[in-house]
Structure 1
Amino acid sequence: MKILVYEHITSGALCTEPLPDHLVREGNAMLQALLNDLAGNQGVQPVILRDFRLDIPPHTHRCHYVRDLDDFRRRWLACLDYVDGVLPIAPETDGLLAEVQSWVLKTGKRLLGCRPEATAIAASKTRTAEYLAAAGLTTAPTVWLRDWQPDTFTAGALICKPDDGAGGTDVLYFENATALNTWKQQSPSETWEKQIVQPYIQGTAASLSLLCAEAEAHLLCGNHQQIQIENGAMRLTGITVNGMEYQRLDRKIFQGLADTIASVLPGLWGFVGVDLVLSPLPVVLEINPRLTTSYVGLREVYGVNPASWFMTLLHKGMEAVELPPQPNQKVTISVEEGLAIQATHC
């Protein structure tokens, strides 16, 4: 089976502009891990589009170098003709991921990822909160910046971020309502229509790695996220895959949470990430309807090829996927140091 692994940042779609180093590191790490894992499955031939400024990663059956946008369009269409399915990894921002998913479906190729209708919901933090809250999950109180007033929430720190987009992009931290109100008054009114405000929730930053399909979910592992606040901005500096401590909360709680999310958004398919805060019970923040950086550590955590679950899901369905027992390894990924990996025993 020929599979186009479409990693947007490294694909050549940005060939006319400078490549953002940190996004290239993350994109390359995910792409290389996935290519390695897919190539370990008999009969799978990974195909990629590649920015001409980057080297060809190993385990690539066919690579199409991209030098300009016309070249990108031609090679994208040529790849769609050549492959059997497409596994997209792209930001949700501005509807990009949903557009890629829709295009794959229109061409009649197999979409090896979430359905665009699920991605459209997950890409919006307010819509995600509405769907999950209606299903009984705890979510962060959320209001649009245009509607926010200094007395909207009780005293404490606040977060302001875009409603649309991927994960922790452009997340601003304010120590109190006065600081946020000052920033709001100095911001153009169009910003008010795109940003949301949430109280800063004290607790442990975490994420879940899931395998989803057919309104069901397998919990692969819970991850501990290292978040740094500096100069009024929040950023992810590291992830400990399988680093979530279950002593306080039973793993069944997180599997139940995963089951609810999959039932609320039945179009989730394949590898999916969920961001949350343990405060101390889980507060769900966002859903990432695609493979995330945590995937890079899954093979070492489990000691098996995680793409084998993916291929079983593809060919035989969710009921045929059998996970090994809960692993006793954890892997720390330093996002700011070239995605260096350090393995330790739990």
Structure 2
Amino acid sequence: MRILVFEFITGGGLIDQALPQSLLQEAYLMRNALIDDLLEIPNIELLVLHDKRTTMHNGDLQWLTIDQGVVLARYLQEMQSLYDAVWLIAPETDGILLQWCQFFSAQAKSLCTSSEVAVALCQDKLQTIKCLSAAGVACVPTHAYIEPAQEQGHWVLKNNNSVGCDEVYLLRSVHDWKAVLARLKASNVYIIQPYIKGKAMSLSCLFYQGEAYFICCNEQHLQIEQQQFVLTACTVHVQAEQAKQYQQLCSSIAAAIPELFAYVGIDFIQTESGECLILEINPRLTSSYAGIKAALGINIATQVLRLANNEQPILTKSTEQSIRININNGIIHAR
């Protein structure tokens, strides 16, 4: 099988724009971890899109280098005979992930990610929460932000289709409201949620035809800089004793959104009382993916390709430890 790896940030998606430093290190982490996993699989021919401004990764693979001025969609139309399947990693912002899913589907390529239907839903945080809530899945209360009112209490205001912590703000005072409202973009849709005390967590899971296969739970380490949340690190594979609870939660999500496929990240708050409240669904690789091999000894890419061949994933652990990923420098180490 010939697989094209297209990580949007490092793969030329922004070839005529400045590279966003806030997302670049996470992009490297995900891309490099995926390449390492795919290189372990026999009978795989690997092609990787490469923005010439970014750093390559080691391995026996073919780089498709994108230079400034290249129209990426046109280039990929010309190169489509070189690959059979695509592993796409892209932000949901402005429909980018959905647009490229549609592009490669039009080429009749196999996607190692969720379907267009799932991506279209999950890129809209508010509609995702409505869908899950209607199915009985507990979520953080979420509403469209319309009026420029300064609500009392502590609130989280976020772009409805942003990626990561981009445009995710914590509002605790009149000063915070004034500072953040001045930054909001008229073209964007925003949602508002009550700030709920607890741990910022995520679940790594595989999905296939309405079934869920829980991999691990991860803790997100956040700090606030000028009212905005910033992800500084994540610890992969924590709270293993709650695996049964997390599997049930993933299964509930699979039943609500059966179009989810392959690796998916689920962000949630675990409250001080232990309740899990969903924040959003990421239908693609997440930063936590980069630590799963070291934490559990499982090659997730192998398991995704098993799913693509209608085979059950094998999630047998050959090791078990917590792994901390520092986002700023990309260092991965045992906790």
TM over 0.5: yes
Matches within 5 A, 1:205-220: 205-220=200-215
Offset of residue 180 of structure 1: 5.8
Offset of residue 22 of structure 1: 3.4
Partner of 1:115: 115
Show CA shifts across 1:215-269 (max 9, x none): 11111000011010122111111000002x255xx32211111011112111111
Q: Secondary structure at the match of 2:186?
A: helix
Normalized against structure 1, the TM-score is what? 0.90
- 4+ aligned runs moved over 6 Å, structure 1: none
Instruction: Determine whether 1:93 maps to 2:90.
Output: no
The residue type paired with residue 291 of structure 1 is: L
Structure 2 CA distance, aligned partners of 1:20 and 1:183? 22
Identity across the alignment (%)? 30
Kindly indicate whether the alpha-carbon contact (under 8 Å) linking 1:148 and 1:197 is maintained by their aligned counterparts in 2.
no
Kindly indicate whether the alpha-carbon contact (under 8 Å) linking 1:160 and 1:172 is maintained by their aligned counterparts in 2.
yes
Structure 1 CA distance, aligned partners of 2:77 and 2:224? 42
Q: Secondary structure at the match of 1:329?
A: coil
Which sections of structure 1, spanning at least 5 residues, go unmatched?
none
Q: Secondary structure at the match of 2:53?
A: coil
Kindly indicate whether the alpha-carbon contact (under 8 Å) linking 1:13 and 1:69 is maintained by their aligned counterparts in 2.
no
| Larger displacement relative to structure 2 (66-75 or 49-58) | 66-75
Partner of 1:296: 290
Structure 1 CA distance, aligned partners of 2:123 and 2:280? 9
Matches within 5 A, 1:148-163: 149-150=149-150, 155-163=152-160
Matches within 5 A, 1:1-346: 1-147=1-147, 149-150=149-150, 155-176=152-173, 178-179=174-175, 182=178, 186=182, 190=186, 194-243=189-238, 245-246=239-240, 250-279=242-271, 280-317=274-311, 320-325=312-317, 328-336=320-328, 338-344=329-335
Kindly indicate whether the alpha-carbon contact (under 8 Å) linking 1:47 and 1:60 is maintained by their aligned counterparts in 2.
no
| Larger displacement relative to structure 2 (229-238 or 284-293) | 229-238
Once superposed, what is the RMSD of the aligned Cα atoms? 2.1
Which sections of structure 2, spanning at least 5 residues, go unmatched?
none
Kindly indicate whether the alpha-carbon contact (under 8 Å) linking 2:112 and 2:305 is maintained by their aligned counterparts in 1.
no
The residue type paired with residue 255 of structure 1 is: Q
Structure 1 CA distance, aligned partners of 2:309 and 2:57? 26
Distance 1:24 1:167, change over 3 A: closer
Kindly indicate whether the alpha-carbon contact (under 8 Å) linking 1:114 and 1:269 is maintained by their aligned counterparts in 2.
yes
Structure 2 CA distance, aligned partners of 1:140 and 1:188? 22
Distance 1:85 1:65, change over 3 A: same
The residue type paired with residue 340 of structure 1 is: I
Q: Secondary structure at the match of 2:298?
A: coil
Normalized against structure 2, the TM-score is what? 0.93
Structure 1 CA distance, aligned partners of 2:130 and 2:299? 36
| Larger displacement relative to structure 2 (58-67 or 288-297) | 58-67
Structure 2 CA distance, aligned partners of 1:75 and 1:81? 12
The residue type paired with residue 288 of structure 1 is: N
Show CA shifts across 1:39-76 (max 9, x none): 11110111111111223322252211111243533432
